[in-house]
Amino acid sequence: MDNTEIIFTELGGTFSRPFAEFKNQLALIKAYVFDWDGVFNDGVKTDQGSPFSEVDAMGTNMLRFGHWLKHGSLPAVAVITGEDNPAAKLLSQRDHFHALYFKSTNKLVAFEHFLQTNSLKASEVAFVYDDVLDLGMAEKCGLRFLVKHHAAPLFQNYSVKNQIADYITSTDDHAVREVCELILGSNGVYDEAIQKRSHFDELYQKYLGERNRVVTQISFIKDGKVVAG
């Protein structure tokens, strides 16, 4: 077994396809899309929405930097959420994600818009999700990461049985960070990315300059159409 596969299997994660196939598909990925509720948090909502963790936020930044190191270009990154989440807007704009889609009760509408806007194929997208509303997208994406909620074992079985989950996280506690570290390790760039970021070296500064020039496109879905937010 590959060392990365061993580490994440021992952590409690589950690979639903052979790791060699997983890595081959990962090499084709050009974009990362995240659900919000239940992915960046435990899904609990207050009148101020649902939050995110800086542990996960650092993971997404290192994920993008690692992709940039390996492929020489920024990956497109988006959040597609069924609700109006202020914290999602804060993170997306602060960290210069390419897109944020609110009120996406039919996430395929937002997904198709994201693909067209960024000249992508669905097979070039990795998707991190956790629940039923996400399955239409998960069926189309090249790699699917299912956040494990212990209360939903049948949903996990359904996702595996229908081949719409390539990896199931060990837990829903900082699951985004787990997925980001898995991708970095599988791409063989984890140590390099960490070292260059921790020393704020010239390559990291170059990446950061490119990242910070990205202007987040915020949209919502109304009557089945994407509307600028």
Domain-embedded: residue 229: no
Mean pLDDT, the chain, as a whole number? Answer: 96
**What CATH number is attached to the domain comprising 152?**
3.40.50.1000
When divided into structural domains, the chain yields a total of: 1
pLDDT at 84: 86
pTM of the model: 0.96
pLDDT over threshold 90, residue 123: yes
Work out the average pLDDT over 127-139: 97
Amino acid 42: pLDDT: 84
Q: How far apart are CA 126 and CA 78, in angstroms?
A: 11
The pLDDT-based confidence of 210 (bands split at 50, 70, 90) is very high
Q: Is residue 228 part of a domain?
A: no
Give Cβ neighbours of residue 123 (< 8 Å, ≥ 6 apart): 28, 141, 142
Whether the CA torsion 183, 99, 93, 43 is positive or negative: it is: negative
Q: What are phi and psi of 6, to 5 degrees?
A: -60, -50
The C-alpha atoms of residue 163 and residue 114 are separated, in whole angstroms, by 23
Domain that holds residue 60: 3-218
Q: Give me the residue label for tokens 């998707």.
A: 127
Could you tell me the pLDDT band of residue 223, with boundaries at 50, 70 and 90?
Answer: confident
128 within domain boundaries: yes
179-204 pLDDT tens trace: 999 999 999 999 999 999 999 999 99
Domain assignment present for 140: yes
In a domain, residue 54? The reply is yes
Q: Is 11 contained in some domain?
A: yes
Within-domain flag for 110: yes
In a domain, 224, yes or no: no
pLDDT of residue 149: 97
Edge-to-edge strands of the sheet including 14-15? Answer: 14-15, 167-168, 143-146, 125-129, 31-34, 76-80, 99-102, 217-222, 225-228
